[in-house]
């Protein structure tokens, strides 16, 4: 190809640096929007672009623009896979056989892929019918979609579709065609708005969430359908399973009643045209492959048997959000009786106890959730917050630390910062608050206020800029500019100068209030000789700080 890709890569680097510089100028009061490692990652990725150019797509055989290196692709999938799982309910563990079964079917598909990657397949503990693939072959299917399928061939159709997305670099192509790379790399906080956990702010997972939620274009979906059926046939499955699945989705999407598949349809839109193309292509492939209806029914029997318990769980969450705590308690207890090995159920019971200020009972519920599955962040976070409220800082730090290991959140860092501050560990508190302040939501703003309070305690003038001058009569004028987004009060200025007799003079003046991003001035009667004046801020109180 021509040198255009190289120019494009240089432009991306320039765009990133200019964007960061602009954001930093707008935010002199806080840490840059992108952390140092994020900038390094972006520049490392962008530098590889200039060494790229064109490459043959291993799935389609097309000669395509290749601006993102395979190393970036593999690292992104590996680094974002676990955070993406945690932010969507974690792995389904109530029936471990389901995980093994799905991974087995996935491996069969992966073995015949045109591109060998470190493929992984997990079942997420999410009732939303959906599936997704991250770059590098990291694939997930939700528990809620498994209950919509009826055969192993249909499962193979879903997984092969996602394998093609990964193998054909469809996610990477999305990055190349848009500002996903720079925008998502700059993102530091992501509220879990579509999850079961409200506005918990996930830190450092912006890129994975962007890639998971980014839809594919019509051509990418067509390729995933066609080559996915090829993979099914190679792996010994009947491609008619993919046609049957697509037909069901088309019929459901055209029905007037809610199906629960809206999220799947949003990222994998079905259509009559697509169904016709798949039907025609399937007729060209070998027949007689495995459908596996009975085996699928056996493998997912427990999952389907306990599906009503998850419906109760969803309804109980709604009741809790509406303030109907007693009804929510009855329903979630019923769900637990149907499926005692579900950590989400016990965690919700803990949330209900906390709504009723039953802290000890909540701790017991969260501990039961952790006993069922230690590898999910939410009960660790919640129990850590309860221990903090009880002033039991030892167990609070252990649980909050474990939650951060699983999924860094602004809530956990903010709580750790408050504990460190209570314990007199100001440097540790500052680090925790700085992490939490990367979030732009309510928790991040509270952490920012705490962070600024610590810095002002060490340096009262940390966010205040002073300037001096003389009026027409030669008397000292002082201006104080607040560069932050918080108000300051009781700003005490220490002014030193040499008077007309050559004697050093020190005086103090107070400014009652300096609003954010504004300047306040004061006039003095002092007349220095030769205009030599120094001003320091010896006291400033941050409004809203502890």
Query: What average pLDDT score do residues 319-323 get?
Result: 95
Mean pLDDT of 193-209: 63
pLDDT of amino acid 176? 76
Distance separating alpha carbons of residues 460 and 145, to the nearest angstrom? 56
Where do we find the tokens 């490459």? 55
Q: What is the pLDDT of residues 341-382, one digit of tens each?
A: 999 999 999 999 999 999 999 999 999 999 999 999 999 999
Q: Is the pLDDT of residue 1 over 60?
A: no
Domain map of the chain by residue range? 52-189+206-303, 305-457, 464-542
Residue holding tokens 């709504």?
A: 355
Burial grade of 21 (CB within 10 A; 0-12, 13-18, 19 or more): exposed
Candidates 3.30.470.20, 3.30.530.20, 3.40.30.10, 2.60.40.10; correct CATH number of 464-542?
2.60.40.10
State pLDDT tens for residues 134-193. 999 999 999 999 999 999 999 999 999 999 999 999 888 887 776 555 555 554 555 555
How large is the average pLDDT for residues 85-108?
96
What CA–CA distance (Å, rounded) separates 428 from 97?
43
Query: Which one-letter DSSP state was computed for residue 254?
Result: H
Name the fold adopted by 305-457: 1.25.40
| 3-class secondary-structure state, position 58 | coil
Query: What pLDDT, on the 0 to 100 scale, is given for residue 261?
Result: 77
In this model, does residue 512 exceed pLDDT 90?
yes
The pLDDT confidence band at residue 256, using thresholds 50, 70 and 90, is low
Residues 6+ apart with CB under 8 A from 316: 327, 328, 329, 331, 332, 335, 348, 352
Give the CB-side neighbour count of residue 229, counting CA atoms within 13 A.
Answer: 26
Distance CA 310, CA 120 (A): 26
| Residues 6 or more apart whose Cβ sits within 8 Å of residue 545 | 449, 450, 452, 453, 456, 486
Residue 174: its pLDDT value, please? 80
Q: How many angstroms from the chain centroid is the CA of residue 115?
A: 28
Which pLDDT does position 455 carry in this prediction? 94
Mean pLDDT of the chain: 86
Could you count the other beta carbons within 10 Å of the beta carbon of residue 206? 20
- Cα R_g (the chain), whole angstroms: 29
- Mean pLDDT on 119-134: 94
Q: Give CA–CA dist 270/355, Å, rounded.
A: 42
Q: What is the pLDDT of residue 197?
A: 63
- The predicted pLDDT at position 270 comes to 81
In sequence order, the β-bridge partners of residue 536 are: 494
Q: Are 80 and 211 in contact (CB under 8 A)?
A: yes
**Which pLDDT band holds residue 389 (cuts at 50, 70, 90)?**
very high
Tell me the residue length of the chain.
546
Mean pLDDT calculated for residue range 405-426: 96
Model pTM score: 0.83
């Amino acid at each position: 190809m021509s040198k255009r890709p190289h120019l494009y890569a240089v432009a991306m680097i320039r765009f990133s640096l200019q964007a960061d510089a602009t954001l930093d100028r707008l935010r002199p009061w806080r840490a840059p929007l992108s952390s140092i490692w994020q900038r390094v990652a972006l520049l490392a990725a962008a530098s590889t672009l200039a060494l790229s150019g064109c490459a043959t797509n291993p799935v389609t055989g097309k000669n395509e623009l290749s601006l993102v290196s395979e190393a970036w692709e593999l690292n992104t999938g590996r680094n974002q896979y676990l955070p993406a799982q945690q932010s969507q309910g974690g792995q389904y563990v109530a029936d471990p056989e389901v995980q093994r079964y799905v991974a087995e079917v996935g491996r069969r598909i992966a073995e015949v892929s045109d591109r060998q990657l470190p493929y992984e397949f997990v079942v997420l503990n999410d009732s939303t019918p959906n599936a997704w693939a991250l770059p590098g072959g990291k694939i997930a299917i939700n528990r809620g979609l498994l209950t919509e399928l009826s055969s192993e061939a249909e499962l193979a159709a879903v997984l092969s579709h996602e394998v093609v997305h990964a193998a054909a670099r469809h996610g990477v192509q999305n990055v190349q065609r848009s500002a996903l790379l720079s925008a998502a790399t700059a993102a530091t906080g992501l509220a879990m708005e579509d999850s079961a956990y409200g506005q918990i702010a996930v830190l450092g997972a912006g890129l994975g969430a962007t890639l998971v939620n980014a839809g594919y274009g019509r051509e990418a979906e067509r390729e995933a359908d066609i080559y996915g059926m090829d993979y099914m046939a190679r792996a010994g499955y009947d491609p008619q399973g993919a046609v049957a699945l697509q037909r069901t989705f088309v019929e459901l999407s055209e029905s007037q009643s809610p199906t629960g598949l809206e999220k799947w349809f949003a990222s994998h839109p079905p259509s009559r045209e697509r169904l016709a193309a798949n039907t025609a292509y399937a007729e060209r492939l070998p027949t007689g492959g495995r459908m596996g209806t009975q085996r699928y029914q056996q493998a997912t029997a427990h999952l389907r048997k306990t599906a009503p318990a998850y419906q109760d769980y969803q309804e109980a969450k709604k009741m809790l959000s509406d303030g109907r705590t007693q009804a929510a308690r009855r329903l979630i207890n019923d769900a637990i009786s149907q499926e005692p090995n579900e950590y989400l159920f016990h965690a919700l019971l803990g949330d209900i106890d906390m709504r009723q200020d039953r802290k000890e009972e909540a701790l017991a519920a969260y501990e039961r959730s952790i006993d069922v599955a230690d590898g999910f962040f939410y009960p660790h976070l919640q129990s850590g917050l309860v221990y903090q409220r009880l002033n039991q800082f030892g167990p609070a730090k252990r649980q909050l630390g474990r939650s951060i290991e699983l999924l860094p959140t602004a809530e956990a860092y903010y709580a750790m910062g408050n504990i460190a501050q209570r314990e007199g560990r100001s440097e540790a508190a500052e680090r925790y608050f700085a992490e939490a302040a990367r979030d732009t939501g309510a928790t991040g703003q509270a952490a920012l206020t705490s962070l600024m309070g610590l810095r002002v305690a060490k340096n009262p003038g940390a966010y205040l800029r002073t300037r001096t001058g003389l009026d027409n009569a030669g008397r000292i004028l002082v201006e104080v500019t607040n560069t932050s987004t918080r108000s300051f009060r009781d700003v005490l200025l220490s002014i030193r100068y040499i008077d007309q007799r050559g004697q050093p003079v020190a005086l103090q003046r107070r400014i009652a209030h300096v609003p954010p991003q504004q300047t306040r001035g004061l006039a003095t009667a002092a007349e220095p000789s030769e205009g030599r004046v120094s001003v320091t801020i010896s006291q400033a109180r941050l409004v809203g700080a502890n």
